[in-house]
Amino acid sequence: MRQLLNDLVGAGRKTSEIPMALSSSSDGNGAHTGPESPSVTPQPGERLVCHLAADAHLVTRSPNHEVGREKFLILRHRLSQIRRARQLKTLLVTSSIPQEGKTLVAVNLAATLALNSSRVLLIDADLRESSVHRILGLPALSGLAECLEGRTGLTTAVRRLDHLGISYIPAGRPTTSPVNLFQSRIMRDVLDEVASNFDWVIVDSPPLNPVADSHCLASVTDAVLLVARSGITPRPALLEALVALRGIFVAGMVFNAVTNAHASSYDSYYYGQGQTGATADAPMSAA
Ligand SMILES: Nc1ncnc2c1ncn2[C@@H]1O[C@H](COP(=O)(O)OP(=O)(O)OP(=O)(O)O)[C@@H](O)[C@H]1O
Ligand SMILES: [Mg+2]
């Protein structure tokens, strides 16, 4: 398995483009199709081509998001500093409540880490309401859920996104009880396996406060990156999340969607209205 994973991590194979079209059918091959899904389903383990919306929130690739791009470069730098001092390979991106920008941060962070040719894997571990594929302009494909259920191999679950220079494990079939899967030995085995094949493993996840999923995931990843969103995250919710993370290494916080009013004077100078941005705070530990 390790050799096969290595093949997937490395570049070199020809990119095959996945035609995108609307369909509501299911292919019986683990891909979940719906109104926004394509009629042609990528084969397992295949290289995928992202079809990004014109105004996609991918700051690393958009000329309209200079500030956001810089913020993610700062975040990458901070994380690289931390990993000089301690083990930091698998990073859980989570937040206290829904809609704070976890998925957006996870995707942009993975793409930013890949800019300096690190071997980067992005895992969609939001098995309830996965959305990484939407940002990437991809269909919902089989992936982590099937892998944890023993219905597909890890090598099959890992896709390659040449456009972003990252590898990607989609969430797979939606499940209402992901905790059972995350608590299984297989989850640890999956993370151990990918950690030995990639430089960074970024794990997108559901919010901490309403469900137990990210609590389980935090205990099997090296560190947590906590996202809070300006104007959205209530202080008590953030405190509740920090209390829940007691004993877990919190590598840092991202303050997402900081507006002019909340940004520093330096940021304000550069911030345009409607910019996608993130501010990386100093690393911290939940006491
Ligand atoms: N900085 C930002 N600028 C503009 N839009 C943003 C920003 N951050 C997030 N959004 C938008 O807010 C919505 C929620 O973002 P996202 O899906 O990343 O949050 P989430 O925390 O992963 O949500 P969930 O808890 O549902 O998984 C999306 O429509 C996203 O495009
Ligand atoms: Mg999300």
Side-chain-side CA neighbours of 61 within 13 Å: the count stands at 20
Q: For residue 184, what pLDDT is reported?
A: 93
Report the separation in Å between the CA atom of 227 and the middle of ligand 2, taken as the mean of its atom positions: 11
Report the separation in Å between the CA atom of 50 and the middle of ligand 2, taken as the mean of its atom positions: 18
Q: Would you say residue 286 lies in a domain?
A: no
Which atom of ligand 1 is least distant from the CA of 106? 18
Is the C-beta atom of 68 inside 6 A of ligand 1? no
User: pLDDT of the chain along its 287 residues, tens only?
Assistant: 454 454 445 433 222 222 211 122 233 333 443 333 333 344 556 676 666 554 467 777 777 777 788 899 999 999 999 999 999 999 999 999 999 999 999 999 999 999 987 799 999 999 999 999 998 889 999 999 999 999 999 999 999 998 899 999 999 999 989 999 999 999 999 999 999 999 999 999 999 999 999 999 999 999 999 999 999 999 999 999 999 999 999 999 999 988 765 555 434 333 322 333 444 443 333 33
Is the C-beta atom of 230 inside 6 A of ligand 1? no
* Residues 214, 205 contacting (CB under 8 angstroms): yes
Give the ligand with the smallest distance to the CA of 95. Answer: 1
Q: Would you say residue 187 lies in a domain?
A: yes
Q: Would you say residue 287 lies in a domain?
A: no
Report the separation in Å between the CA atom of 127 and the middle of ligand 1, taken as the mean of its atom positions: 17
Q: Would you say residue 102 lies in a domain?
A: yes
CB burial readout 29-50, b (16+ within 10 A) else e: ebbbbeeebbeebbebbbbbbb
Residue 14, domain CATH = 3.40.50.300
Q: Would you say residue 211 lies in a domain?
A: yes
* Residues 278, 122 contacting (CB under 8 angstroms): no
Q: For residue 13, what pLDDT is reported?
A: 29
Q: For residue 236, what pLDDT is reported?
A: 97
Report the separation in Å between the CA atom of 13 and the middle of ligand 2, taken as the mean of its atom positions: 30
Q: For residue 30, what pLDDT is reported?
A: 39
Give the ligand with the smallest distance to the CA of 107. Answer: 1
Local structure of 107: helix, strand or coil: helix
pTM for this predicted structure: 0.81
Q: For residue 233, what pLDDT is reported?
A: 96
Q: Would you say residue 285 lies in a domain?
A: no
Is the C-beta atom of 57 inside 6 A of ligand 1? yes
> What is the Cα–Cα distance from 217 to 276, expressed in whole angstroms?
27
Number of domains in the chain: 1
Ligand 1 pocket mutation, candidates 103, 135, 213, criterion most atoms within 8 A of CB: 103
> What is the Cα–Cα distance from 72 to 178, expressed in whole angstroms?
30
Report the separation in Å between the CA atom of 255 and the middle of ligand 1, taken as the mean of its atom positions: 12
Q: Would you say residue 180 lies in a domain?
A: yes
Report the separation in Å between the CA atom of 28 and the middle of ligand 1, taken as the mean of its atom positions: 30
Is the C-beta atom of 95 inside 6 A of ligand 1? yes
Which atom of ligand 1 is least distant from the CA of 131? 17
Q: Would you say residue 214 lies in a domain?
A: yes
Q: For residue 97, what pLDDT is reported?
A: 98
Is the C-beta atom of 257 inside 6 A of ligand 1? yes
Domain that holds residue 94: 2-280
Q: For residue 50, what pLDDT is reported?
A: 60
